[in-house]
Structure 1
Amino acid sequence: MDKQLIIDQLKAHKKLPYLDYRLKRNTETFTDTLFYTLFDINTDVETHLEKLEEQFDALVNLACWETAKPCHKIWENYVAELPIILKKLNLDAEAILSCDPASLSIQEVYMAYPGFYAIAIYRLANVLYNQGFPLVPRLMTEYAHRQTGVDINPGATIGESFFIDHATGVVIGETAVIKNHVKIYQGVTLGALFVNKSLQKTKRHPTIESNVTIYANATILGGETVIGENSIIGGNAWLTESVPANSTVFHTPEIKIKTK
């Protein structure tokens, strides 16, 4: 075995741009610190805001490859948004508690519901996404994705009092718009009709108006698809066209009974 030859071949094929996996690890640490600062009673807010600023500076050094971009200015704007984010997350937790008969306490929602955790990390990442901070918001939501099975792109727009029940398998695309008081169940996909790089700057994912409930494994596709307010989308439904307000949509299975 020619060890040097193998090393040279590996280096020749290692054509990726600057790729430092410390960014991924540091983002996960930052996300954990952020979550505990907002919710854990034993995590002092003042002390940990200073710690978060240090962690964020480290992320800036790793993530901001274009030195002309004012990444260092983002932190102050972000901290100013944290009370607003926390207020929204408290509304999300209250929506879960009031909607789910299995929830025994608000403490259980904050600590045990994967849907709440996924929403929390999405909301914390979305503000950074909207400020144009590169890569970190996506790493934050992918961290939550890995832990919960919920894939929410940080670019999605989600209103108040959002409820994801059971959570696993939910997919919400980058240009999806979800209004207020929406409930979705496990396996729901809010996706694009098809994938093409030329569509990057277009709305590819559906709009869900207020007070809509979407049951398990329903798939709703397309940027022009709008689910009208107060509608109920049944489990396993497949939708690529808009639905008017106050609609009920359901999938009817075909049942064939085998006879001798």
Structure 2
Amino acid sequence: MDDFIINNVCRTERENASEYRKKLPQVINTILASMEDERCFVHIGDEPIHFSTTVKEMIDKFREILFPGYFSSEKIDGANLVYNMGQAVSLLYDILSEQIIHVLRHDCLRYGQACSECEKTGNTIALKVIQAIPDLRISLAEDVKGALDGDPAAKSHDEIIFSYPGLYAITVYRIANILFKLGVPQLPRIMTEHAHSLTGIDIHPGAKIGKRFVIDHGTGIVVGETSVIGNNVRVYQNVTIGALSLPPNAGEKLRGSKRHPTIEDDVIIYSGATILGGDTNIGARAVVGGNVWLTRSVPPDTKVFIESPHLIYKRHESQKELNHEYQV
């Protein structure tokens, strides 16, 4: 009897589900009709947008080459180094050139641009990026050393390379910045947004960042497109190096202008600090304390802190409340 009841319940639930599905064609027609609505956006009939999985594969291959032996799926030694590096570089070149050609063709066809000779340009740019890898490795090595020098919790260079989200975000930024400066559309931003989604660190590929840039912890960091950051700068979590609020119609007018701060050499910015505005300059060797809000410049060799909060401690003792107020 129980089996009979269960079977009937299952059959009824399946029939009910079919009734819901019968309503889908009407919903689909409504969705299709909405595609004629000029208030919304569609991307139909154009080159497809590249898939994030391919971008991830490309970033992973870059890391294999930038840090040989760290992220390879097999042991690398003198017996297979030349073969392994040759395979990795060849594959990276193929992936990278295909991605660049893809975004060039996408923008050309979608926006009716003049022919950019996608194939030739894509292959040329991909080769330039591959040729930049030796210098890129040196730059990233300095970032790693900077992290070890300033972080007592770091036990080795290996620990930083393997596990620090800040270094991952910086690595992706430095690759994307090369592509950005070579005029590749979309792809650099997609790469840094991929790193953003994994680490919580949002660095625009157009930012200019010097040597030995260190991100400590990292979650919640924002670095805007026109930011300029010098050498030996250390930034802690939840720091914003951003633009002042703009009116809704300012996008086109101010696009390309200097909207984000300049951070000079040897500056330390502690967690929660917010620094805004294209005219804001943080002088060399300055220290910006936690939760500081800045929209004007700071001279070199200056410390900026918020006054210690006035804390109130309350406790109950023998039914009598004792209040203690003092500075911390």
Same fold, TM-score > 0.5, yes or no: yes
Deviations 1:181-212 (A, max 9, x none): 01110001000012330211210000000010
The structure 1 residue matched to 2:270, chosen from 202, 208, 215, is 215
Q: Which moved further from structure 2: 12-21 or 147-156?
A: 12-21
Counterpart of 1:117 in structure 2 is 168
Q: Which moved further from structure 2: 173-182 or 61-70?
A: 61-70
The answer as to whether partners of 2:276 and 2:294 remain within 8 angstroms in 1 is yes
The structure 2 residue matched to 1:35, chosen from 63, 67, 70, is 63
Q: Indicate whether 1:244 and 2:299 are aligned.
A: yes
Q: What is the RMSD computed on CA atoms of the aligned residues?
A: 1.9
**TM-score normalised over the length of structure 1:** 0.93
**Counterparts of 2:214 and 2:32 in 1: how far apart (Å)?**
52
The structure 2 residue matched to 1:159, chosen from 195, 204, 210, is 210
Q: Which moved further from structure 2: 138-147 or 2-11?
A: 2-11
Partner of 1:202: helix, strand, or coil? coil
Query: RCO (CA 8 Å, sep 6+): is it higher in 1 or 2?
Result: 1
Q: Indicate whether 1:130 and 2:181 are aligned.
A: yes
**Counterparts of 1:25 and 1:143 in 2: how far apart (Å)?**
10
Counterpart of 1:68 in structure 2 is 116
The structure 2 residue matched to 1:105, chosen from 156, 169, 176, is 156
Letter in 2 for 1:176: S
**Counterparts of 1:68 and 1:21 in 2: how far apart (Å)?**
18
The answer as to whether partners of 1:169 and 1:186 remain within 8 angstroms in 2 is yes
**Counterparts of 1:166 and 1:51 in 2: how far apart (Å)?**
32
**Counterparts of 2:268 and 2:220 in 1: how far apart (Å)?**
16
Partner of 2:176: helix, strand, or coil? helix
Q: Specify the structure having the higher radius of gyration (Cα).
A: 2
**Cα deviation, residue 138, structure 1:** 0.5
Moved over 6 A (4+): none
Partner of 1:5: helix, strand, or coil? helix
Q: Indicate whether 1:150 and 2:201 are aligned.
A: yes
**Counterparts of 2:282 and 2:162 in 1: how far apart (Å)?**
31
Identity of matched residues, %: 37
**Cα deviation, residue 58, structure 1:** 2.2
Letter in 1 for 2:288: I
Deviations 1:160-190 (A, max 9, x none): 0111100100000000000000111000100
Counterpart of 2:95 in structure 1 is 55
**Counterparts of 1:20 and 1:175 in 2: how far apart (Å)?**
29
**TM-score normalised over the length of structure 2:** 0.75
Letter in 1 for 2:298: V
User: Structure 1 residues 201, 105: closer, same or farther in 2, change over 3 A?
Assistant: same
Counterpart of 1:168 in structure 2 is 219
Aligned positions, number: 260
**Cα deviation, residue 9, structure 1:** 2.1
**Cα deviation, residue 21, structure 1:** 4.0
Counterpart of 2:42 in structure 1 is 16
Counterpart of 1:46 in structure 2 is 86
The answer as to whether partners of 2:66 and 2:136 remain within 8 angstroms in 1 is no
Counterpart of 1:26 in structure 2 is 54
Structure 2 runs not aligned, ≥5 long:
1-22, 74-83, 109-114, 315-320, 322-328
The answer as to whether partners of 1:175 and 1:205 remain within 8 angstroms in 2 is yes
**Counterparts of 2:296 and 2:47 in 1: how far apart (Å)?**
41
Deviations 1:36-65 (A, max 9, x none): 222141473221110011112321342112
User: Structure 1 residues 23, 133: closer, same or farther in 2, change over 3 A?
Assistant: farther
The structure 1 residue matched to 2:144, chosen from 82, 93, 96, is 93
**Counterparts of 1:92 and 1:26 in 2: how far apart (Å)?**
26
**Counterparts of 1:24 and 1:134 in 2: how far apart (Å)?**
15
Q: Which moved further from structure 2: 131-140 or 1-10?
A: 1-10
Letter in 1 for 2:32: D
Counterpart of 1:227 in structure 2 is 282
Deviations 1:129-162 (A, max 9, x none): 0000011100111111011100000000000011
The answer as to whether partners of 2:35 and 2:42 remain within 8 angstroms in 1 is no
**Cα deviation, residue 79, structure 1:** 1.2
**Counterparts of 1:101 and 1:256 in 2: how far apart (Å)?**
30
